[in-house]
Structure 1
Amino acid sequence: MSDQDQASGLRKWASLQRQQQEAEEGIDVAAAEHVPEPPLPPLTPEVALAEQPEAQAPPKPKIPLMVVGLPGSGAAQVSRVKARLGQWSSLGRNWAGEPDDWSIHIAMAETSDLAELCNQYNRWALWISSDADDFAAMYRTLRQLHERGGPRRLLALHEPHLPRQGLLDNLRGAAEYYLNMELLVLAR
């Protein structure tokens, strides 16, 4: 038999012996064993506040970002954009925050309600492929934005290792010179 079982058995036996003895003497066991609890002090405002459960902070609103230039739309494209933002965040770009801080929306430059979207959202980005052969497609996207009343300022969403010289500078220069658009290029 274990020590805990022996102790439990002894306590039961002692309690039973005490109850029998008190019953023989005519003592009310329940009343005799009842020990009144001391009254609780009145609640002060500080104690009342401390005892209330902490209110959950409302969730931080996500930053909307409209992205153009991606082939297609859907969860896979949103994941690509979040991965790119995560790369910048890991490089110490504080503005990128955490990828989940962003509400990514994929837009097509050909959409008929582009001007309405531009009025509704103020953060826009152009997805820039690292393939220089896609320069014409990226410029065409910028031209469509220009013609349809789209944003005049966009973040160049490119791979962190893509150098500023070459594709990024050429695209930025063409957007500024021919379309009066600002393409914000963030290169290392």
Structure 2
Amino acid sequence: MKRDELIEVAGYLISITPRTRRGLMEYRLKIMSLGGGFMSAYLHEPKIPLRPGLRVKVKAFLSRQLGSPRWVIEKIEPIKDEKDLEPEPTLVEEVVRGAYPIVCGKRDDKAFSMPAEEEVLSKIPSNLPQRLYCIFAEGGSQLKIVEALSEKEYEVFKKTLSMLLEIDRDSLESEKIVMKYLKEVELPRLP
């Protein structure tokens, strides 16, 4: 593999889109680098619970199979020392389209007006005002909306993450019980 076909990126997981490709489940992840750039990459089997706003380090390679080249994630891990971006309850009141689309609304009872990418605008319903959960991030020198989730989507992510963490805890506890049992059981000796 050529060196330019392997990248490592640290940044924030902005959106997660499950889909199937050739009958297999995969996730399209949109990642915002710490420098404010965006990239899309694909993941087949997440080894960590994924959620919007999670700070991650990703190693990906450029796959040239089946159609256009795309980044495929080889390894993804959370960055624990840094703060994640949290989706914030936001009242979106208006979208002003033009050369630079602007979203207007209220966040923490304060009015805001800031840019958003076309992909984010496509997630904002046309019948405004709407209460959404938005992720805000520094993009270059200004704050902008990098993701918008409906209340239902946000609740699904929260409940899924909670269930995964509970399963992990239960699995760890079960493993401890089994190991303790195996240590206490006396195995028959072979003659």
TM bracket (short chain): under 0.3
- TM, length-normalised to structure 1: 0.20
TM-score of the two chains, using structure 2 as the length reference: 0.20
| Structure with more relative contact order (C-alpha pairs < 8 Å, separation 6 or more) | 1
- Please identify the structure whose Cα radius of gyration is greater: 1
- Choose between structure 1 and 2: higher helix proportion: 1
Higher strand proportion: 2
